[in-house]
Amino acid sequence: MIEIDGSYLEGGGQILRTAVTLSTITKKSVRIYNIRKGRDKPGLKPQHLEGIKSAAKICNAQLIGAELNSLEISFTPGDIKGGFYEIDTKTAGAITLILQTLIPIGIFANGPLKLKIKGGTAVPFSPTILYFEDVFCFYLKKMGIEISVDIKKHGFYPRGGGEVLVVINPGVLKPIEFVDTGELRKVEIHSISSEHLRNARVAERLITGFQNIYSNAHFKYKYVQTDSPGCFIHSVAIFDNCLIGIDGLGERGKPAEKIGEETAKRLKEILKNPPCVDEYMIDQIIPYMALATYTADKQTAIRFSELTLHARTNIWVVEKFLPVKFEIESNLLKCIKK
């Protein structure tokens, strides 16, 4: 059984998600202790709990310690089976973080994995569902994996209530190298706001703020029915060979224009010397690089701007499960088979 210290480096939920995912795929049992030990509220929270419980159902695993606030679990996987699974965090737990656990598992299932997930679609400390749909799914498609996303309802903190249908089709990961961005073709922005904020024209003001900094962006906006009021702006820079995504979440007491401006400034700074993946995608793509390298016995590589603590943590976990090694040459991250 592989032993994983959940407090290592970044010490958050990502260690748990990656470890359970790779345990399922490699059929290696794992014990994870000190789960989120360094957080203000350590242990398993609703989205972590629902993610690992769902993984256990999909592969008929023996799961011990799966309780709210638990600091330790053990996971002994079985065979991965496709099919339809419903997941409800009953909170604003991030739907995209649950998907981080389940997407890789679906790639290795014996049939399509269909997920109906309820929770938050744009909540703090997690990718928005539009980032997942536009940016994450773009890179997975480049690597040969088809994912369909149907956003039924958006959900904001604190009530959540969002609902998303996702289908992952099994496939073979291609060992792609993302080393050249190509030319920047356009920047798109998409503003989402709850109906509660229509009279205040929040969706339009998010766009106004963004365009104050980056005037050439193509835009669209939408008001949606939600259980809690909220808003966010999603921006994506579209290059020949890659995408860069930056989002901004609404904050109580902060003008919508300010959120739009801050998001545009962050994107504009990245575009001065654009990498092939943004700082949010680099850690998410690491398990897929490793799995592609392992199954195809061929190097994968990606050009980045910053190797975040999340990314370093994911590399550490991945190398516990797979016979691969990550190497850094300047701003190029390579994965090779041992």
Same domain, yes or no: 29 and 95: yes
CA atoms within 13 A on the CB side of 116: 5
Task: Give me the CATH number covering residue 256.
Answer: 3.30.360.20
Active site residues: 310
pLDDT for the residue 248: 98
Specify which residues 332 forms β-bridges with.
303, 329
CA distance 123 to 214: 25
Domain co-membership, 100 together with 122: yes
pLDDT of residue 15: 96
Cβ neighbors of 85 (< 8 A, separation 6 or more) are: 54, 57, 58, 113, 114, 115, 116
Look at residue 52 and give its three-state secondary structure. Answer: helix
Residues (pLDDT < 70) of the chain are: none
Q: Can you read off the two tokens belonging to residue 283?
A: 């850690």
Name the pTM for this structure: 0.96
Per-residue pLDDT tens digits for 66-97:
999 999 999 999 999 999 999 999 999 999 99
Domain count, the chain: 2
Q: Is residue 275 part of a domain?
A: no
The residue range of the domain holding 252 is 184-270
Is 200 a member of any domain? Answer: yes
d(CA 117, CA 127): 15
**Residues 259 and 148 occupy one common structural domain:** no
Q: In what order do the strands lie in the sheet with 332-337?
A: 177-178, 300-303, 332-337, 324-329
Same domain, 151 and 11: yes
